[in-house]
Structure 1
Amino acid sequence: MPEDRQAQVAALVALLRQPGARWTEIAAEVLAEGSALAVLYRHLGAGETLFAEDPARDALNGARTELQAWAADGIGVHSLFDDTYPARLRDIHQMPPIVFTRGTLAEDRRAVAVVGTRRPSDQGVGIAETCATALAESGITVVSGLAAGIDTAAHTAALRAGGRTVAVIGTGVNRYYPATNRALQDQIVKDGLVLSQFWPDAPPGKHTFPMRNAVMSGYAAATVVVEAAYRSGARMQARLALQHGRPVVLADSLLQHDWAREYATRPGVYVVSTANELVATVDLIVRQIPDSLQALEGLPRLVDL
């Protein structure tokens, strides 16, 4: 990473580490200014004090130490300043200013999320496994949230089929949640990618999983909902996906729910009943991905470093 870019990333980390920092507001301010260093100096001063204390310098030094430690630990750090920042996240309302990864980062142009309840029926597990297997065998990256239930079934089936899978998690990348998925998470790191918008050691929290759903819906080109009640993260992700302009695919068994029947009437929502229908629908969706991603990749990276 070039030295000037390192300084910008360190300044961004320093800003996000400030007590009470609101990440979305900081991201917006940095985008408007075009420089995290300028925003940091405005907030903490630019060393013009006569005293030995220099809050901005100290914050930058602390951030640089953290960045070095993360790199030594094998954690990928991808900020708004980096070409490695997932391109598709740049156009979502809840765009995180920084994401952390373990595993192998890839373009994942052809990526589809498969999500659903933590307490699935046997039928739901079977549908998730069938969907993930069909997608993986078609060269589609299977994205999910590493939660118990449908997420676990989707990740496991994708790996078993020899495909790529990405876990977008609601904790830091150094955490295992749920603990029962430790081995699965390690396998995903080995053969795919674990991605988080939270500090590497961040624990699970009340709001982290809804925030995770927003990022997952943006990372994927489309979201497949397998089994979900009205009050569920999967239904929330379907709503967010539509807000982000991402298609939603519903398993026809979901139509027993009022919310799913209502969603099925919306533009951009597809209902499928077989694996073949799913693959055909996803193929129709992903054909349009390269052009849309090329447009996103043409967006400015804040400052020309």
Structure 2
Amino acid sequence: MCRLSLVLDELALDRSGSLLDDEDRTWFEAAVERGRERTSFWGEELERLRRQDIRVMACTDSDYPVNLTLVHDAPPVLFVRGGLNEDDRRAVAVVGTRKASPDGLSRASAISTDLVAHRYTVVSGLAKGIDTAAHSAALNAGGRTVAVFGTPVETIYPAANRGLARQIVRNGACVSQFLPGVRTGRWCFPARNLTGSGLSLATVVVEASATSGARLQAEAALRHGKRVFLVESLVTAQPWAQQMDAAAHNATVVRDADQIVTALEADLAVSSDAVSA
């Protein structure tokens, strides 16, 4: 940067570049050419994404999700299919294990249905089990839902949820922080959990083992200063959930969605009063 600053100072005195020595001139011309190449590359890349109906949303854009702007580790860029809108400020993540029990699936569906009835957007991760139940229930209730991918947004995982992803695009959004066309791996899923928390006012964990990504998202939500709701049956079954309930003041044990909605509406009322004051 120091070298660039000196070269630009010289060019400010003489735009022809006659004041530059041969080494600086060669270096600067090469840098300009690299800049042109990168500009051309990203122009072509953006056009490729547009043809796939993938929107690029940077953290500097005015319509970047407000909830994400409030966390320190939000992704600088989102790749979006479908649409995010103002209603998604009232988003709640409903997450849990891929190997869900029938009772867990039923609870996830009931919670998502009730959240939609109270005008909340349901956020989840499109995985098998609890995530699929949460998205499906939100759609069946006529509500909005957002799927946060641990893969590029054009890569549907699991493949069995391709139809569900298409429905989500029509009634919400599929989002990813990973550049389309780039190979990813298991390390991407913890990053997805951070984004899922950031997009949401709170995270509800229905069923999850100690090694589950849902637990990671709950921990991320606590670091973000957001509420975590732990379903009562989860706390009964899982020591990690018992420890979280005991140690974290933002963690609340709940039996149903009514308790979740009551707590969130109280929080929103306090926030509204603070803004008005």
Q: TM-score, normalised by structure 1?
A: 0.76
Q: In structure 1, how many angstroms separate the alpha carbons of the residues matched to 2:180 and 2:273?
A: 33
Deviations 1:256-276 (Å, cap 9, x if unpaired)? 211111111211111111232
Deviation of residue 204 (structure 1)? Answer: 4.7
Deviation of residue 74 (structure 1)? Answer: 1.6
- More displaced, 154-163 or 260-269? 260-269
Matched, 1:66 2:45: yes
Q: In structure 2, how many angstroms separate the alpha carbons of the residues matched to 1:46 and 1:71?
A: 37
Matched, 1:131 2:111: yes
Root-mean-square deviation (CA), in Å?
2.3
Residue 233 of structure 1: aligned partner: 213
SS in 1 for 2:143: coil
Residue 271 of structure 1: aligned partner: 253
Q: 2:191 aligns with which of 187, 200, 211?
A: 211
Q: How does 1:52-63 map to 2 (within 5 A)?
A: 54-63=33-42
Residue 6 of structure 1: aligned partner: none
Counterpart contact for 2:82–2:169, Cα < 8 Å = yes
Residue 30 of structure 1: aligned partner: none
Q: In structure 2, how many angstroms separate the alpha carbons of the residues matched to 1:46 and 1:61?
A: 23
Moved over 4 A (4+): 45-48, 50-53, 288-294
- Structure 1 vs Structure 2: percent identity of aligned residues? 44
Residue 13 of structure 2: aligned partner: none
Residue 259 of structure 1: aligned partner: 240
Q: How does 1:1-305 map to 2 (within 5 A)?
A: 49-50=28-29, 54-107=33-86, 108-255=88-235, 256-265=237-246, 266-288=248-270
SS in 1 for 2:92: strand
| Structure 2 alignment gaps of length 5 or more | 1-23
Deviations 1:143-176 (Å, cap 9, x if unpaired)? 0000000000000000000010000111111111
Q: In structure 2, how many angstroms separate the alpha carbons of the residues matched to 1:96 and 1:168?
A: 12
| Structure 1 alignment gaps of length 5 or more | 1-44, 295-305
- More displaced, 285-294 or 241-250? 285-294
2:253 maps to amino acid: V
Deviation of residue 279 (structure 1)? Answer: 2.5
Deviation of residue 292 (structure 1)? Answer: 8.8
- 1:202 to 1:285, Cα distance in 2 relative to 1, 3 A: farther
Deviation of residue 49 (structure 1)? Answer: 3.0
Q: In structure 2, how many angstroms separate the alpha carbons of the residues matched to 1:46 and 1:66?
A: 30
Deviation of residue 71 (structure 1)? Answer: 2.1
Q: In structure 2, how many angstroms separate the alpha carbons of the residues matched to 1:292 and 1:188?
A: 34
SS in 2 for 1:54: helix
Q: In structure 2, how many angstroms separate the alpha carbons of the residues matched to 1:69 and 1:225?
A: 37
Q: In structure 1, how many angstroms separate the alpha carbons of the residues matched to 2:25 and 2:219?
A: 43
SS in 2 for 1:287: helix
2:121 maps to amino acid: T
Q: In structure 2, how many angstroms separate the alpha carbons of the residues matched to 1:46 and 1:288?
A: 60
- 1:105 to 1:52, Cα distance in 2 relative to 1, 3 A: closer
Counterpart contact for 1:222–1:248, Cα < 8 Å = yes
Counterpart contact for 2:66–2:89, Cα < 8 Å = no
1:250 maps to amino acid: L
SS in 2 for 1:270: strand
Counterpart contact for 1:109–1:293, Cα < 8 Å = no
Deviation of residue 293 (structure 1)? Answer: 9.8
Deviation of residue 65 (structure 1)? Answer: 1.4
Q: In structure 2, how many angstroms separate the alpha carbons of the residues matched to 1:172 and 1:206?
A: 12
Q: In structure 2, how many angstroms separate the alpha carbons of the residues matched to 1:167 and 1:49?
A: 45
2:92 maps to amino acid: V
Q: TM-score, normalised by structure 2?
A: 0.84
Q: In structure 1, how many angstroms separate the alpha carbons of the residues matched to 2:63 and 2:168?
A: 19
Deviation of residue 250 (structure 1)? Answer: 0.7
